[in-house]
Amino acid sequence: MTTVAAELEPMDLGRRLHLQDLVWCCWIVGGATSSASLLCVSADEREAVQKKTFTKWVNSHLSRVSCRITDLYLDLRDGRMLIKLLEVLSGERLPKPTKGRMRIHCLENVDKALQFLKEQRVHLENMGSHDIVDGNHRLTLGLIWTIILRFQVSWRAKHHSSLCR
């Protein structure tokens, strides 16, 4: 699918938003001009960008413990890298991952990670360990986004507010 970028005046926006293939939009505000660009991409393109971005984010943190992932969906399925990521982000020790490679071991490891997140009061709506083990793209991306919000954004907000006092 192709990416469509268009210069739109605010009045034109309503006419463009009803297009069938318009799934995701980002405003890019022009510097000195009052016009804005609307970048429209398909759901597949959005998912590919999110996967690439989240993989880089995960690797930036896993590099602290000399680990890395190559495929976000595949490499988180057994739960080991997910546990490592949460340990790096939180500074806490999580339960040791189960060593087996069978589905039951993977489910157990992912469940340890999800349980830790619940203990951290991270709300995980309609997500179970089987979703990650089965490689559900949407829920894996949602999990990483939730982790980013909890450990990156909320940490920075707390850190910034303590500096402002």
- pLDDT of the chain along its 165 residues, tens only? 444 444 444 444 444 443 333 344 444 444 554 455 556 678 889 999 999 999 999 999 999 999 999 999 999 999 999 999 999 999 999 999 999 999 999 999 999 999 999 999 999 989 999 999 999 999 999 999 999 999 987 655 555 555 555
pLDDT number for residue 61: 98
Domains of the chain, each with CATH number or no CATH: 4-41 (no CATH), 44-164 (1.10.418.10)
Nearest C-alpha neighbor of 152 from the set 67, 58, 72, 27? 58
- In this prediction the pTM is 0.72
pLDDT number for residue 162: 55
Strand order, beta sheet including 36-41? 4-8, 36-41, 24-29
pLDDT number for residue 152: 85
pLDDT number for residue 42: 83
List the Cα angle 70/127/88 in 5-degree steps. 45
pLDDT number for residue 120: 94
Q: Are 126 and 142 in contact (CB under 8 A)?
A: no
Q: Amino acid identity of 93?
A: R
User: Helix 137-148 crosses helix 80-90 at what angle (to 10 degrees)?
Assistant: 10
